[in-house]
Amino acid sequence: KDRNPGEPEFHQAVLEVFESIEPILSKNDKYLEEKVFERMAEPERIITFRVCWTDDNNQIQVNRGYRVQMNSAMGPYKGGLRFHPSLNLSILKFLAFEQTFKNALTGLPLGSGKGGADFNPKHKSDREIMRFCQAWMLEAQRHIGHFTDIPAGDIGVGEKEIGYLFGAFKKIRNEFQGSITGKGPLWGGSFLRPEATGYGLVHFAEYMLTEIGENLEAKTCLVSGSGNVSQFAIEKLLEHKANVVAFSDSTGFIHDEEGLNAEKLAFLKELKNTKRESVAGYAEKFKSATYYEGTEKRIWSVPADCAFPCATQNELDADDVKDLDKNGVMLIAEGANMPLTDPAIKAVQKSNIIYAPGKAANAGGVAISGLEMTQNRLGRYWPRDRMEIELRVLMQGIHENCLDTMKKYSLDKQDYLNAANIAGFERVAKAMVAQGSW
């Protein structure tokens, strides 16, 4: 903490992993001698830069751009870009640190990184977003490339932004290469990348429920957020015949007593992706739904069987866990990165709720990004049905890796948190030791 003052999210992420791996670390002289964990907690490189762009009123705007290149032991740096006014180094370092273990869990040759800017894409015209992306890439392009560092999307960065970023990279470098993932399938992207995080999350939840003799059919589900991860998690839950009754955004949440269906989800996608409006509009359209503005009443107080936090970090606290537990929730699976506060995780561990940490449960997105990189290098593109199978197999592999780690280290049954941290750590630690200290 002394070394990284004022970075609470980063401390939280590092401490959580440390608590899981401490028993292994203390028994492994090589890891201690090589200072493996200290090295993992220090980014290999941090780049911050000025991003100057011109708004529609011809005024110059100044933002701060970032790229944290965290760990390249397993492959080139890989991780998303976030455009959000609250973005800072603490958030980026926590995201990049988590990415190290998540990417290792996929079994693909992916290092870790994260980046973005304190730019608010809300209420900006397409032209403004384009000029911002071009200005961001003007500096960042010298640090990225298909064998060096491959960004993707995250909060505030979807296919539109990826298109502008990729176009700028191609123009400046005069190279059409897989320097960024999440591209449209027409121009170098992979089928299923937009869906992969949300779909993969639901696959993982289904594998967990199978272990306890359950499944998602007819289960009442809460999904926070209403962006990329949430929309495709809802879509997959509906395929499993689950009953999704609540979702949210930064303005408040919707409780739809009758549950969503394909038509309602299409309306939600239009509302959030095209109109870029608040979820409040959903309750104006559908009479079975109520909109709760602000944070006083919590989405997590709605009675349900399964909860999928898919919005942002620290969105679910210990009191929320109490509510979920009281209402008989059996599973919490993290679509977002670090959505549970540390006290919330401790409360879950004392409850009967089974819990999937984001490092394992939301790894589907980066896994399909890894396969987008493979397709870019091959210059051949795989059909959608193949990608569906690849995603399922990758999520199953992560799930089995967690189960194997629980057995190997005599962890409690269903202890996915410690299993995911240990399994990810071991892979990266071995690669770091093999490559010497630098």
Which residue of the chain is nearest ligand NDP when measured via CB?
227
Which 251-290 residues touch ligand NDP, going by CB under 6 A? Answer: 251
One-letter amino acid for residue 233 of the chain:
A
- Span near ligand NDP by CB under 6 A; candidates 24-32, 125-133, 148-156, 260-268: 148-156
Q: How far is the CB of 263 from ligand NDP (least distance, A)?
A: 20
Q: How far is CA 394 from CA 105, 133, 157, 371, in A?
A: 9, 32, 24, 11
Strands (E), 27-184: 45-54, 60-71, 77-83, 112-117, 149-152
Site for ligand NDP in 292-311 (CB under 6 A): 310-311
Inter-residue contact 229 to 205 (CB < 8 Å): no
Is 188 a binding residue for ligand NDP by CB under 6 A? The answer is no
Four-point Cα dihedral 120, 123, 129, 132, nearest 10: -40
Q: How far is the CB of 174 from ligand NDP (least distance, A)?
A: 29
| 341 lies in the binding site for ligand NDP (CB under 6 A) | no
Stretch that binds ligand NDP, among 12-20, 296-304, 331-339, 412-420 (CB under 6 A): 331-339
Size of the site for ligand NDP (CB under 6 A): 24
CB of 394 to ligand NDP, least distance (A): 13
Return the residue of 72, 106, 112, 228 that touches ligand NDP, per CB under 6 A: 228
CA atoms of 75 and 431, how far apart (whole Å): 10
Closest CA to 105 of 424, 321, 404, 350: 424
List 66's β-bridge partners, or say none.
48, 116
Q: Any contact of residue 401 with ligand NDP (CB under 6 A)?
A: no
Q: 161 vs 426, which CB is nearer to ligand NDP?
A: 161
Nearer to ligand NDP (CB atom), residue 153 or residue 357: 153
If DSSP codes are grouped into helix, strand and coil, which group holds residue 332?
A: strand
Which residue has 């299409």 as its token pair?
Answer: 266
- Tell me which stretch binds ligand NDP (CB under 6 A): 51-59, 166-174, 223-231, 391-399: 223-231
Binding to ligand NDP by residue 229, rule CB under 6 A? yes
**Sole window of 58-66, 209-217, 219-227, 254-262 interacting with ligand NDP (rule: CB under 6 A):** 219-227
- 3 state DSSP class of 116: strand
**How is 362-416 classified by DSSP, letter by letter?**
TTHHHHHHHHHHHHHHHT----HHHHHHHHHHHHHHHHHHHHHHHHHTTPPTT-H
- Choose the catalytic residue: 78, 93, 102, 114: 114
Annotation marks residue 171 as catalytic: no
Give the list of residues 6+ apart from residue 313 with CB closer than 8 angstroms, or none. Answer: 9, 91, 94, 336, 337, 338, 339
Q: Is 226 in the site for ligand NDP (CB under 6 A)?
A: yes
CB 364 within 8 A of CB 200: yes
- Distance, in Å, from the CA atom of 36 to the CA atom of 427, rounded to the nearest integer, reads 12
Q: Which stretch binds ligand NDP (CB under 6 A): 173-181, 283-291, 334-342, 390-398?
A: 334-342
Site for ligand NDP contains 117 (CB under 6 A): no
Do 188 and 170 form a contact (C-beta atoms < 8 A)?
no
- How many degrees, rounded to 5, is the angle at CA 270 between CA 268 and CA 275? 115
C-beta of residue 222 within 8 angstroms of C-beta of residue 254: no
Does position 113 bind ligand NDP by CB under 6 A? no
91 belongs to the binding site for ligand NDP (CB under 6 A): no
For 403, phi and psi rounded to 5 degrees? -60, -45
Please state the closest distance from residue 272 (CB atom) to ligand NDP, in A. Answer: 6
Q: Is 112 or 362 the residue whose CB approaches ligand NDP more closely? A: 362
One of 362, 376, 414, 418 touching ligand NDP (CB under 6 A): 362
Residue range at the interface with ligand NDP (CB under 6 A); choices 172-180, 227-235, 260-268, 344-352: 227-235
CA 215 remoteness from chain centre: 24
**Least distance from ligand NDP to the Cβ atom of residue 34, Å:** 30
Structure tokens at 430: 């071995």
Binding site for ligand NDP (CB under 6 A): 153-156, 197, 225-230, 248-251, 310-312, 315, 335-337, 362, 365
Residues taking part in catalysis: 114
